[in-house]
Chains A and B, each alone.
Chain A
Amino acid sequence: MAKSPEEEHPQKAFGWAAKDSSGLLSPFHFSRRETGDGDVTIKILYCGVCHSDLHNVKNEWGFTMYPVVPGHEIVGTVTKTGKNVKKFKVGDRVGVGVLVDSCKRCESCQQDLENYCPQMILTYNSYSQDGTKTYGGYSDIVVVDEHYVLRFPENLPPAAGAPLLCAGITVYSPMKYYGMTEPGKHLGVAGLGGLGHVAVKIGKAFGLKVTVISTSPKKEEEAVNRLGADSFLVSSDPAKMKAAINTMDYIIDTVSAVHPLAPLISLLKLNGKLITVGLPEKPLELPIFPLVLGRKLVGGSDVGGIKETQEMLDFCAKHGITADIELIKMGDINTAMERLAKSDVKYRFVIDVANSLSQ
């Protein structure tokens, strides 16, 4: 008979988990594996609350295995290292993002694209190689193969930098891959939430002109005055959308609800690229004529490989880019999730794990 979460591994662990599709989180005792030869054990300081965490706790994508401990924007301190570990030592500030393992042998892994490995193991809600489930960062400790641990730059504030481990790489990677980095070009960012606000900051750091495309007119002031966007387009205003037709070289679409693509596609110039990084539950309607007539494309992207995630962290440290966060206590997580569902956060909740996770 399978061991209970508390007993399956030798190191005791404590966190908050959702037990069913109500998505409500509550205290949960479980365990972490022994620190293997290639492993790093991390005391968790902060963990960002990603919208994926919300989708997962409520089983909105249909593949949640309860109990689920979410959290894949983890920043902490190394407390133990296995004997073969070379990159880290006790006391180092580190991060863990969306994946904690992969096959290491396939073409994707060989090309530093572990995130596209068919056997990629997610930080939570996945099966490890030993057959046990992975649990995420809403917890006190985590044990990870050193290959998947990021060095967290010293000059990056740990709480405000935590969301970069998912939100940051999710927008940075496609911007590099799809060539959305030429200074002077015009980037549209659809959706101004956790992903979107980081995309604005990274876009500006690449020297791009950035327009935020949003359904909420009240986000304009923030977008332009505080985040540094060059302009703001209310997507529900037909006249403004029409005036902006054929003006953008690329668009990062961060919206995770079902939404129309046709208006976004019309904003693109010839050869324009619409890159979608949000994960709506249902398929989207895609008009083909405008893609054909304007040689436009719609592409997807899913986080990034470990090498690129490190590159992104170093880039953000160099340019002083962090997320705008609201620090919360572990005990407030359910309220935070409710507010997140209503997009009531500027722009990421981050759990102060070390100071508020008590048994």
Chain B
Amino acid sequence: MAKSPELEHPNKAFGWAARDTSGLLSPFNFSRRATGEKDVTFKVLFCGICHSDLHKVKNEWGSSIYPLIPGHEIVGVVTEVGSKVQKFKVGDKVGVGCMVGACHSCDNCDNHLENYCPKMILTYGAKYYDGTITYGGYSDTMVSDEHFVVRIPDNLPLDAGAPLLCAGITVYSPLRFYGLDKPGMHVGVVGLGGLGHVAVKFAKAMGVKVTVISSSPNKKKEALEHLGADSFLVSKDQDQMQAAQGTMDGIIDTVSAQHPLLPLIGLLKTQGKLVMVGAPEKPLELPVFPLLMGRKLLGGSCIGGMKETQEMIDFAAKHNITADIEVIPIDYVNTAMERLLKKDVRYRFVIDIGNTLKSSN
């Protein structure tokens, strides 16, 4: 008979987990494996709340395994390293993002694209090599194979840096891969939430002109004055959208709700690229004529490999890019999830694990 979460590993751990599709989180005792020879164990200080966490706790994608501890924007301080660990030592500031395992032998892994490995193991809700289920960062400790740990440079604040581990890499990778990172280019960012606001900052740091495209006119002031966007388009305003036709080299679309593609394709210049990083559940309508008439393309992207994640963190540290966050205590997490659902956050909640997650043991 399978051991209970508390007993399956030797080291006690404590976190908050969802037990069912209500998605409500509550205190949960479990355990972490002993620090293996290639493992890094760290005390979790902060964990970002990603919209994926909300989808997963409510089983909106249909693959959730309960009890589920979410959290894949995890930062903390190393407390123990295995005997074969080369890159980290006790006291280092580190982070773990969306993955904790991969096969290390396929083409994708060889090309530093662990995120596309067919055997990639997610940080939470997935089966690890030893058959146990992975638990995420809404918890007091984390154990990860060194390969999936990134170093957080000293000058990057841990709390505001945490969301970069998912939101950051999710937008950084396609800006690079699809070549939308050249100074002087004009890139649109659709949706101004956790992903969108970080996309604006990265693109600006790359020397790109940025236009935010949003359904909410009340985000304009922030976008221009605080985030540094060059312009702002209200997507429902036909005149504004029409005037901007054919002006963008690329668009990063962070919206995961159903939405029309035709107006976005119209904003692209000839040979422009529309990149989807939000993933609507149902198919969208693709108007084919405009795609052909301008030799345009629509592509997807999903987080990034470990090498690129470290590169992204270092780039962010160099350019002082962090997320705009609202730090919350762990017992606010259910309220935060409700607010996240209503998009009532500028622009990421981050749980102050270190100071507020205390086991009752």
Contact = CB atoms under 8 A, between A and B. Distances in A.
Given A292-B279, A295-B301, A270 B116 contact: yes
Contact of B299 (A262, A280, A283, A296): A296
Nearest to B280: A288
Interface string A141-183: 0000000000000000000000000000000001001000000
B294 interface: yes
Given A270-B116, A302-B295, A284 B285 contact: yes
B277 A280 contact: no
B248 to A, nearest CB: 14
A287 B286 CA distance: 9
B131 interface: no
B286 A284 contact: yes
Task: Report the contact-size class of chain A (Cβ under 8 Å from the partner).
Answer: 20 to 34
Contacts of A287: 283
A264 B284 CA distance: 16
Interface in B278-302: 278-281, 283-302
A285 B261 CA distance: 11
A107 B295 CA distance: 14
Contacts of A321: none
Given A279-B288, A285-B283, A292 B298 contact: no
B288 A291 contact: no
A287 B284 CA distance: 6
Interface string A272-303: 00001111100111111111111111111110
Interface string B46-65: 00000000000000000000
B280 A295 contact: no
B279 A289 contact: yes
A283 B286 CA distance: 5
A170 B156 CA distance: 50
Contacts of A261: 286
B293 A286 contact: no
A145 B7 CA distance: 82
A299 B301 contact: no
A332 to B, nearest CB: 31
Contacts of A270: 108, 113, 116
Contact of A295 (B271, B283, B289, B300): B300
Nearest to B174: A295
B310 interface: no
Nearest to B256: A288
B296 A300 contact: yes
B284 A116 contact: no
A85 interface: no
B286 A291 contact: no
B288 A299 contact: no
Nearest to B262: A283
A103 to B, nearest CB: 13
Given A113-B270, A299-B291, A294 B286 contact: no
A291 B297 CA distance: 12
A302 B293 contact: yes
A108 interface: yes
Contacts of A108: 270
B286 to A, nearest CB: 4
B283 A302 contact: no
- Interface core residue of B262, B293, B296 (most chain A CB under 10 Å): B293
B276 interface: yes
Contact of B285 (A107, A276, A283, A295): A283
Nearest to B286: A286
Contacts of A116: 270-271, 293-295
A213 B170 CA distance: 33
A292 B301 contact: yes
Interface string B137-168: 00000000000000000000000000000000
Contact of B283 (A177, A262, A277, A300): A262
Given A262-B283, A299-B296, A292 B108 contact: no
A254 to B, nearest CB: 12
A298 B297 contact: yes
A283 B263 CA distance: 13
A63 B177 CA distance: 38
B297 A299 contact: yes
A126 to B, nearest CB: 14
Contact of B276 (A177, A283, A288): A288
Contact of B297 (A277, A295, A300, A302): A300
Contacts of A283: 262, 285-288
Contacts of A295: 116, 177, 299-302
Contacts of B276: 288, 291-292
- Interface core residue of B270, B278, B287 (most chain A CB under 10 Å): B270
Contacts of B293: 116, 300, 302
Nearest to B287: A283
- Interface core residue of B271, B281, B290, B295 (most chain A CB under 10 Å): B295
Contacts of A302: 292-293, 295
Contact of B288 (A262, A284, A297): A284
Interface string A63-89: 000000000000000000000000000
Interface of A: 107-108, 113, 116, 174, 177, 261-262, 270, 276-280, 283-302
Given A261-B286, A270-B113, A288-B300, 9 more contacts: A116-B293, A116-B294, A174-B295, A276-B291, A286-B285, A291-B300, A292-B277, A294-B116, A300-B293
Which 3 pairs between the two chains have the least Cβ-Cβ distance?
Answer: A291-B300, A300-B291, A297-B299
16 contacts: A113-B295, A116-B271, A116-B294, A276-B288, A277-B292, A284-B286, A285-B284, A285-B285, A288-B279, A292-B276, A292-B277, A298-B299, A300-B288, A300-B294, A300-B296, A301-B292
